[in-house]
Structure 1
Amino acid sequence: MNGFDFAGLIGVTLILAGYALATMGRLDQKGAPSLAINFAGAGLILVSLYRDFNLSAAIVEAVWALIALAGLIRLALERLRRQGSR
């Protein structure tokens, strides 16, 4: 196993663990920890695709990462708005 494969396995583990925890109600799927787990997992899978590229998988993971990043940005902006209204 090389580093790219290892990165991909860690990425898959993160995404599946995050999904399992959200499904069991132990992790808020709209919360920052869940979004960060999804972003990191998708990013690591994209790293693994660098060595053995697959267009379909790259599109899914890139969109997955962008959606998670958009959620993290939304949370950050909401936090800034709340701090500004104090």
Structure 2
Amino acid sequence: MQLSLTDLIGILGVFVIIVAYMLLQLEKMEAKDLSFSVLNTLGALLIIISLLYDWNLASFLMESIWMLISVYGILKYYKLKKKEENAVKNDGEED
């Protein structure tokens, strides 16, 4: 069995998502960590790329939603970080 480049891209995406989940379960990463959302976004994107060449609607929907949720996690991370930076900045001005 010979794998195509798009198959390899999809398999890489699967491994990226599995590694993120494994690190979460091993408590090496937290769900709120930026790296967790980035790995999930990257993994889903790689799987979507492979699906564009070997179409499967159910898998495409799953990975698209997975990626959207992960992008939400990235945006949430940066929003929280900005809020924390503003709080520190405001605390420094009160002194």
Which TM-score band (shorter chain)?
over 0.9
2:5 to 3, 14, 24: 3
Gap regions ≥5 residues in structure 2: 90-95
Distance 2:37 2:11 in 1: 18
Q: Which has the larger radius of gyration?
A: 2
1:33 equivalenced with 2:74 (yes/no)? no
Aligned residues: 86
SS at match of 1:39: helix
Choose between structure 1 and 2 for higher RCO, CA contacts under 8 A separated by at least 6 residues. Answer: 1
Q: Which amino acid aligns with 2:11?
A: L
Residue identity in the other structure for 2:65: V
CA-atom RMSD, angstroms? 0.9
What is the TM-score when the length of structure 1 is the normalising length?
Answer: 0.94
CA distance in structure 2 between the aligned counterparts of 1:60 and 1:22, rounded to whole angstroms: 20
Give the aligned residue type for 2:10: G
TM-score by length of 2: 0.85
Q: Which moved more, 1:60-69 or 1:76-85?
A: 76-85
Tell me, in whole angstroms, the C-alpha distance in 2 between the residues paired with 1:78 and 1:22.
20
Using the aligned pairs only, state the percent identity: 27
Provide structure 1 residue ranges, at least 5 long, that are not aligned to the other structure: none
Q: Which runs of 4+ in 1 moved over 3 A?
A: none
In 2, the alpha carbon distance for the partners of 1:20 and 1:58 equals 23
Question: C-alpha separation between the residues in 1 aligned to 2:64 and 2:34?
Answer: 18
